[in-house]
């Protein structure tokens, strides 16, 4: 019979109406790809660390956090979509898998006397299935707190240098003038415009520097430009807030969110003498752009043909060489929904549970409500493809192997 609690690392989490963690998702915990030597995510972590002087780096916080610390204490509204069962993984109403590294800023504020730090960790979200989404991914939080009395002294010298951009990096920043901040992206009432100018300048200069450094290492790839843009954003725990997007594979890809930390959060965590900025970098997205890795599932591959392409000793960033010979295989699936409130993320988790990393994408291609019965029907297209599996021919299939061509036959 089903247990009435989920056991994880010796703790028991009693199930309730919020419980939705699956064995598949729990099985991913502990892989800690960001700490695996020579894994591209670990190498990226180390490259970013090298850009940040004087920062303390954390990378082993537990992924199980209090719902309160993931949301409430970061001033995330009660009706924020991330709080719903359809978007996040819950053990129960009190405990969940962290959805972002921002939650651990609180640990550092309260328990460590540190002003400049990074936190790298695996984070968990229920989402669609395609080449840039996976229910587990990795973020690096960077935080810099400044002494408010020091900032005030410097305030008189606040200037807006256009950030120096190296050839090959195209940075567009229409948000660079604070006067242009919209009402939806205001400075906080606790802060003066001069303070915000200084802190925001540091934030943008630091992040542009990191992106430039990372890109400079990939310059050897023959690709001559990297286009990034700053756009205004909204996060409950920062204001003003921004996002940086990189132009990749024909579209703008969000790689980080950032902003000036809400003073209320710092005050409540006993850091009222400080003011600061924070950002959360999406490591997979950045690594995909830097190494031209086409699919996020590859990071989970144990195949030497993937892992051996990345070495700590690499002077320039390796450009990923595809090795899977497998063609995609497409199947459409149509079904009637038992109610009109169908959650697509429930289907996506089900598909992941069954097909694992063979599933490349799931997309809605048709839906229909029967005019008489009112019942709803959906049709999804599932694309399967192995990123790395190499199937040795069985005896039965050996005869199909010609000297120059191999057929990818998986016997069922």
Residues that bind ligand PHE (CB under 6 A): 100, 102, 141, 235, 238, 241, 257-259, 278-280
Which of 274/301 has CB closer to ligand PHE?
A: 274
Q: State the minimum distance, in angstroms, from the CB of residue 282 to ligand PHE.
A: 8
Which of 271/292 has CB closer to ligand PHE?
A: 271
**Rounded CA separation 380/52 (Å):** 45
Contacts of 18 (CB under 8 A, 6+ apart): 85, 90, 92, 93
Contacts of 15 (CB under 8 A, 6+ apart): 3, 4, 5, 6, 91, 92
- Name the pairing type of β-strands 116-124 and 136-147: antiparallel
Q: State the minimum distance, in angstroms, from the CB of residue 257 to ligand PHE.
A: 3
Q: State the minimum distance, in angstroms, from the CB of residue 56 to ligand PHE.
A: 17
Which of 146/359 has CB closer to ligand PHE?
A: 146
- Which residue in the shown chain puts its C-beta closest to ligand PHE? 280
Which of 235/358 has CB closer to ligand PHE?
A: 235
Q: State the minimum distance, in angstroms, from the CB of residue 370 to ligand PHE.
A: 39
Which of 63/257 has CB closer to ligand PHE?
A: 257
Q: State the minimum distance, in angstroms, from the CB of residue 39 to ligand PHE.
A: 21
Place of tokens 């954390």: 58
* Residue 232 region by backbone torsions, left for phi larger than 0, else alpha for psi between -120 and 50, else beta: beta
Structural element, H or E, at residue 213? helix 193-218
Which of 121/387 has CB closer to ligand PHE?
A: 121
How many CA atoms lie within 13 Å of 122's alpha carbon, on the beta-carbon side? 23
* DSSP per-residue codes, 290-303: HHT---GGGGG---
Q: State the minimum distance, in angstroms, from the CB of residue 139 to ligand PHE.
A: 6
Cis peptide bond N-terminal to 240, omega within 30 = yes
Q: State the minimum distance, in angstroms, from the CB of residue 346 to ligand PHE.
A: 23
Which of 244/318 has CB closer to ligand PHE?
A: 244
Structural element, H or E, at residue 190? none
Q: State the minimum distance, in angstroms, from the CB of residue 398 to ligand PHE.
A: 50
- Confirm if 352 and 24 have CB atoms less than 8 A apart: yes
Which of 13/235 has CB closer to ligand PHE?
A: 235
The helix-helix angle for 40-51 and 283-291 (nearest 10°) equals: 100
């Amino acid at each position: 019979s089903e247990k009435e609690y989920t056991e994880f690392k010796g703790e028991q989490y009693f199930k309730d109406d919020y419980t939705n963690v699956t064995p598949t998702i729990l099985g991913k915990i502990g892989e800690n790809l960001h700490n695996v030597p020579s894994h591209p995510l670990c190498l990226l972590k180390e490259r970013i660390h090298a850009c940040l002087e004087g920062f303390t780096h954390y990378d082993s916080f537990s992924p199980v956090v209090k719902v309160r610390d993931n949301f409430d204490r970061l001033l995330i509204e009660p009706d924020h979509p991330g709080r719903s069962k359809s978007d996040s993984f819950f053990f129960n109403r009190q405990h969940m898998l962290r959805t972002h590294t921002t939650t651990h800023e609180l640990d550092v504020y309260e328990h460590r006397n540190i002003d400049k730090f990074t936190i790298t960790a695996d984070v968990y979200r229920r989402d669609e299935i395609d080449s840039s989404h996976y229910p587990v991914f990795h973020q690096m939080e960077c935080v810099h707190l400044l002494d408010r009395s020091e900032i005030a002294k410097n305030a008189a010298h606040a200037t807006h240098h256009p950030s120096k951009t190296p050839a090959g990096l195209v940075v567009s920043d229409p948000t660079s003038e604070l006067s242009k901040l919209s009402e939806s992206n205001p400075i906080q009432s606790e802060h003066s415009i001069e303070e915000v100018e200084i802190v925001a300048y540091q934030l943008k200069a630091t992040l542009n520097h990191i992106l430039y450094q990372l890109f400079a290492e990939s310059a050897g790839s023959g690709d001559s430009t990297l286009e990034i843009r700053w756009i205004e954003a909204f996060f409950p725990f920062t204001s003003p807030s921004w996002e940086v997007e990189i132009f990749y594979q024909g579209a703008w890809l969000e790689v980080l969110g950032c902003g000036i930390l809400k003073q209320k959060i710092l005050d409540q965590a006993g850091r009222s003498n400080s003011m600061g900025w924070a950002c959360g970098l999406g490591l997979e997205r950045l690594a995909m752009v830097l190494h031209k890795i086409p699919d996020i599932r590859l990071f989970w591959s144990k195949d030497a043909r993937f892992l051996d392409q990345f070495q700590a000793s690499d002077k320039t960033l390796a450009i990923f060489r595809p090795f899977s010979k497998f063609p995609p295989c497409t199947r459409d699936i149509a079904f009637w929904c038992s109610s009109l409130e169908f959650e697509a993320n429930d289907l996506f988790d089900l598909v992941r549970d069954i097909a694992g990393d063979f599933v490349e994408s799931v997309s809605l291609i048709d839906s229909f409500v029967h005019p008489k019965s009112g019942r709803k029907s959906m049709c999804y297209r599932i694309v399967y493809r192995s990123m790395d599996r190499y199937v040795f021919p069985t005896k039965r299939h050996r005869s199909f192997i010609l000297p120059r061509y191999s057929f990818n036959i998986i016997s069922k």
